[in-house]
Structure formats: C-alpha cells, structure tokens
Structure 1
Amino acid sequence: MKIMGIKAVIRRKRKNYVSHKVEHLAENILDRDFWAENPMEKLLTDVTEFKLTNGTKRYLSAILDLGSKKIVAYQTSNRNDNPLVLDTMKQITDDVKLGTTLIHSDRGSQYTSHAFNKVVEDNDLIHSMSRVSKCIDNGPMEGFWGTLKVEMFNLDTFDTPEYLDQKIKEYIEFFNNERVTLEMGLAIPTEEEILEKIA
C-alpha cells in the first residue's frame, strides 16, 4: 500500500456518552441484595428513554420499592435532566423512613448532582450507587424497564407524548395492582440481557 501511495481511511470511534462532572458519589451499599422485608426499606430508581414515531424522545423516571414490589413514584418529561428526577423524588418524601430508607441509583449526572444529594440529606436517606458499567447492580429496575417495553411499548405505536404518558400510567397501575406473577415479574435479568436491551 505504501509503495502504491494508498492509505486506509480509518473512522474514529465516536463516544456514545456525554461526560459530566461528578459532584457526589456513594458506595454500592445495596450490593445486589434485592430482598426487602418491608415497604420503603430499599428503593431503586432510574430513567429510561422512549422514541416516538416522529423521532422525538420521551423520558420516564421511576422509583421501584423492593419491599412492596411496586412502582411508588414516576414522572415523564421531554428532557432527561435534574427536574425530572427531583420531581420523582418529591413524590416519596412524605413516606420515607428517616435514617432507614435506602435509595439506589446508577452514576448518572442527575444522581451525582448537588441537587439530588440535597434531597438525600434533607430526607435522611441512605444513598447507594451502582459501580461503573455494572447495570446488573440495579437489576430489578432494569428488569422492570424490559417488562414495560415488552408488554406495553413494543405492542403499540406512539405518535404523541400525551398518548405515551396515558399508556405508561395505565401500565403502571396494572403492574402495581393486577399483574400477579412470581415476585411481581421482577426476575433479575443477567448482565448480558441488560446490555442487549440498552445496546
């Protein structure tokens, strides 16, 4: 190739993430112990993304109670930002057990922010975080996202955020009150299964 003056065109690998300044970190206190005897003892939280038919995105933030096996708070938004997560947290502050309730999240920018840490401190919560690139540390939450998308989102067509929000509300009510299966369908997916879903 050198003799003929031919050069290969090498594509640079693009970053598939947006770096952010980490303001607060927490240890992985939960340590994949997903058993909780009582409600509001261990909570998991995360944000997932939906794409509408026009290409726009809608985000769902939710909190899963490992004790009751129910979604105890959720909020939707067109933006994946701090207000989305903080509005979700506001829904549980009257019910948490001071100094006892553990909330587990990943290391996303919303959960490492000063604003989220203030909510944690103001409500005397115990904050636990997944390790880097270990989505299985938040397995039941990831399992819920998979169940929601298979049983609701993938079976319909969503042209407007209003219709998506309506169906999310209906599904969460169904999941919390009617969907009776072993462990309420919260089988913990393997790391490979999670990576397949988010790829």
Structure 2
Amino acid sequence: MSKKRKQYSPQFKAKIAIEAIQGQKTTPEISSQYEIHPTMINTWKRQLLENASELFDKGKRASKAQSDTEAQINELYRQIGQLKVERGFFSQALRTAGSDTRKSLVDAQHHALSVVRQCQLLGVSRSSLYYQPIDPSDEEMTLLKLIDQQYLRTPFYGSRRMKAYLQTQGYTVNRKRVQRLMRQLGLQAIYPKPKLSESHPEHQIYPYLLRGVDIVSVNQVWSTDITYLPIFRGHFYLVAIMDWFSRKVLSWRVSNTMDVYFCLAALEEALNKYPIPEIFNSDQGAQFTAHVFTDCLKQAKVSISMDGRGRCHDNIFIERLWRSVKWELIYLKAFEDGQHLSQEVKSWFHWYNRQRPHQSLGYKTPDEIYYQCDSPM
C-alpha cells in the first residue's frame, strides 16, 4: 500500500521560501529542520521570486479598481440626488394640473412602469382611469338650472332652504342630493362662517389688501372669479378679470374643467393688453393660489390680495357681473356646445363693455369710464 502524500499549506510554503531567500541557513539545514525535501525548498523559493512582482501589480490593479468603484458610487449618488430634485420639481408642477391632464399622461403600454406605479407618481386614482362618465338626465339639468336661478335671487339659501324651494316646484329631492348639486355648481350660502373658501393646503395665502382702500382710478385694482355656466348637456366654467373702478371686463376664458390653466390664460391676456394694475384681488381658490398663477403676478410686480374667509362681499363687483351674465344671457338661450357658448359669451362681453350703461357709473359704459380716465402712475 502506497504512502499518502503529505500536503503543505500556502502559509507554510511561504515561510520556507522566505527563509531560503534570506540565506541565513543552507538548504540542507532547512530541509533537516522541517523534514522536507530540498527540491521542494528550491521550487517554493523560485515560485516566490517569480510571482513577487505580480503581487505588487495586483495591488495596483486592486487600488485602481477600488478607486473606480468609489467614483462610480459617487456618480450614482449624484444621479440619485439629481433625480430626487427633478422628481420634486415635476411633482410640484403636476399638483397644479387638472386630474384630466394627469390621467392623460398614463401609458398603459409602458414597458418599465406598471399602471399602478404611474398612477401613484401622477397622484391619480387607478379606478378613475376606467370610469366612463354618464350624461346627466333631463331632470338633473333642470334641477341644476333651478338651483342656479334661485341662488341668484336668494344667495343666502343653503341646502335646506333650497330643498324646500325645489319641493314647492314639484320635485321630490332630499337634502343630500341638493348638497351634491350645489357643490357641482360651486354654490354656498352667503353669510359669514368659518372655512367658506377652501384653498390648496400647499399653496400660500395672501392677505386682503383692500380693506379701507378707496378705489379712485382705473388699473388700481383688478379682480377675478370663476362661475358655472349650464348648457343643454352639461356645464362649463367661466373666468373673468375685471377692473374695479370702471367695471370693464378685461379678459375671460371658458373651460370644461376647473383647473389653473384657463385662469392663467385670461390673466396673461389682460396683462399683455392693458397697463399693469397695482393690486390683483381674488378668492382663496386653488386655481388662484397655484404657484404658476401667483408667479405670473409677481413677475409683473403686482401686489396680490385675497378675500378673507367668511368675507362674502370682498369681491362683490364680480359677483354682480355673474348675476348679469346669467340673467341677461345664460338663462335666455339654449347652448348646443362649448363653441356656441363661447361665441355668445364673447358677443355679450363686447356689448357689456361698449353699450351696456351702469347706474353706478352714472349710466355710462365701462369702456367710457376706462378710457377717459388716466391710469395711475
């Protein structure tokens, strides 16, 4: 039976090779001391000498590889930080966009992002992607029109009184339905109460600057507001910008969604066509507190004023404009679609500015007052 060959560890081989290289002992002495064959000692010594240079080269390569790895990690951290900043920027911009705009950005065929993740990033409900709106019934449209008309006569009516009024007109409705319809119209009973106007929680609210201020010239104060316009099969929203002193409507826009962009378009048109006002007043609605809207005013160096909560008469002039629009146009005609509505609104505002006399203006038109008065310095 053959004797099993003895195995030596790498540490032992290195130790023997180093002693042989030091030259303090002869090869036979090392062989006798450790009971190993001289040939093995010579072999280990040769291998150590031949491979010593590779150890230093390997160290350099390892150092370079470590340096490259650290550079890659630093670059990845830089890219992560940049992506976080960019994501924060786009997230803030998307918050001001309407839900329809955000839903239109969802790509069901995206190869990397699921629909669920896209909805999370865009801040929309996944179920809303599949919702198919149902046209309101004839009864629903009639109720909306009756509520809107009665509100102009009695703006202090809440849902309880409005329900009672509708029941006198022969409609069996409960208070919850009336509340829903009034919310759809954007109507609330006018009387001082807390939280009358809900603003966006992340938008800045500006103070009301017009308390005790005498309005003595054109372009001293502009104001804006949004109202609801019913048509045969649905509704639209109207925003207008008015000069307080002359009551002139400077610009307006009609939209089928109540987002910031149609309000911004009206503001930019007014700022481009007319002298810059000193103060711009609005309510605390999310459209008017949006960053893109207030930034436009700041760039024009306009002081921003916002109605206080529970202050139902802070923007009374434009509220009177809505009453005139509805009683003198909207309730007298049937509109087929948004294009027809926009054409009629354009004609009405043209007539309002140039031909409609105002009792408060000494029976002069808004254009007569606006253009005969000097703008403030």
TM-score range, shorter chain: 0.7 to 0.9
What are the equivalent positions in structure 2 for 1:40-189 lying under 5 Å apart?
Answer: 40-54=219-233, 56-94=234-272, 95-97=274-276, 101-183=278-360
CA–CA distance in 1 between the matches of 2:252 and 2:312? 20
CA–CA distance in 2 between the matches of 1:169 and 1:32? 34
TM-score w.r.t. the length of structure 2 is: 0.42
TM-score w.r.t. the length of structure 1 is: 0.77
1:20 — aligned with what?
200
CA–CA distance in 2 between the matches of 1:66 and 1:20? 26
Q: Deviations over 1:101-156 (max 9, x none)?
A: 21100000011111111011101011111111323110011010011101111111
CA–CA distance in 1 between the matches of 2:243 and 2:354? 14
- The structure that has the greater radius of gyration is 2
Deviation at 1:12, TM superposition (A): 8.3
Q: Which amino acid aligns with 1:64?
A: M
Higher strand share: 1
2:210 — aligned with what?
30
Q: 2:224 aligns to what SS in structure 1?
A: strand
- Could you tell me which runs of 5 or more consecutive residues in structure 2 were left unpaired when the two chains were aligned: 1-174, 187-197, 364-377
Report sequence identity in percent. 24
CA–CA distance in 2 between the matches of 1:103 and 1:67? 13
- Could you tell me which runs of 5 or more consecutive residues in structure 1 were left unpaired when the two chains were aligned: 1-10, 186-199
Q: More displaced, 133-142 or 123-132?
A: 133-142
CA–CA distance in 2 between the matches of 1:90 and 1:155? 31
Give the structure, 1 or 2, with the largest relative contact order (CA under 8 Å, sep 6 or more): 1
CA–CA distance in 2 between the matches of 1:132 and 1:71? 25
| Kept in 1: contact 2:230–2:330 (CA 8 A) | no
CA–CA distance in 1 between the matches of 2:320 and 2:236? 19
RMSD (Å) for aligned C-alpha atoms? 2.4
In the TM superposition, structure 1's runs of 4+ consecutive aligned residues that sit over 6 Å from their partners are 11-15
1:39 — aligned with what?
218
Compared CA separation, residues 129 and 19, structure 1 to 2 (3 A): closer
How many equivalent residue pairs? 171
Q: Which amino acid aligns with 1:168?
A: V
| Kept in 2: contact 1:75–1:88 (CA 8 A) | yes
Higher helix share: 2
Compared CA separation, residues 32 and 22, structure 1 to 2 (3 A): farther
